């Protein structure tokens, strides 16, 4: 499979903006980066007793199957010091596959589109940047574009990667 993948990045441990930049760099060694969203600071969701998150998103040209892409994202997390912990725990980096052009994926390890993406402001804010840049369009992600066109930014960009 070959196509555009939309990856969400998040960090709330250590040098968060530096972590996002390093994740982008590590991912760029594996895939061409087609576009990058701004960085947004958002409160934690689900597990609230932790620092705020810094979030961004990338559009990458992936020439691998979705599960292989997942393995690469997990390897980047590991290289950056993420260790398995409890669900929604603080972390130096989180790399999630939100969309993969060419279809959905449902397996025990991976669900694409990412569950709940359209209800999470920390995902929506960066995705709106990619929409504005034409990287999420009716041509490659028709349902996502339709949903995103109904959303508003809840946060302001604090910097770029």
CATH number reported for the structural domain that contains residue 38 in this entry: 3.30.70.560
Residue 155 lies in a domain: no
Instruction: Please give the tally of structural domains in the chain.
Output: 1
11, pLDDT greater than 80: yes
CA–CA gap between residue 74 and residue 94 (Å, rounded): 8
Give the closest residue to 3 by CA, choosing from 131, 103, 70: 103
pLDDT at 7: 98
User: What confidence tens digit (pLDDT) does each residue in 15-69 have?
Assistant: 999 999 999 999 999 999 999 999 999 999 888 999 999 999 999 999 899 999 9
Residue 161 lies in a domain: no
pLDDT at 105: 87
User: What confidence tens digit (pLDDT) does each residue in 92-123 have?
Assistant: 999 999 999 977 888 999 999 999 999 999 99
Residue 158 lies in a domain: no
């Amino acid at each position: 499979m070959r196509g555009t993948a939309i990856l969400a990045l998040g960090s709330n441990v250590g040098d968060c903006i530096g972590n996002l930049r390093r994740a982008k760099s590590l991912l760029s060694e594996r895939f061409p980066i087609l576009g990058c969203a701004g960085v947004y600071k958002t409160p934690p969701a689900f597990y609230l007793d932790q620092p705020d998150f810094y979030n961004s998103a990338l559009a990458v040209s992936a020439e691998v199957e979705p599960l292989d892409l997942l393995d690469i994202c997990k390897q980047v997390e590991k290289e950056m010091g993420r260790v398995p912990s409890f669900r929604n725990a603080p972390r130096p980096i989180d790399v999630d596959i939100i969309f993969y052009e060419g279809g959905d994926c449902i397996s025990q390890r991976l669900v694409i589109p990412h569950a709940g993406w359209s209800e999470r402001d920390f995902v929506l804010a960066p995705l709106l940047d990619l929409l504005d840049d034409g990287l999420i369009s009716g041509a490659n992600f028709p349902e996502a574009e339709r949903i995103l066109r109904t959303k508003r930014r809840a946060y302001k960009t604090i910097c770029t990667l």
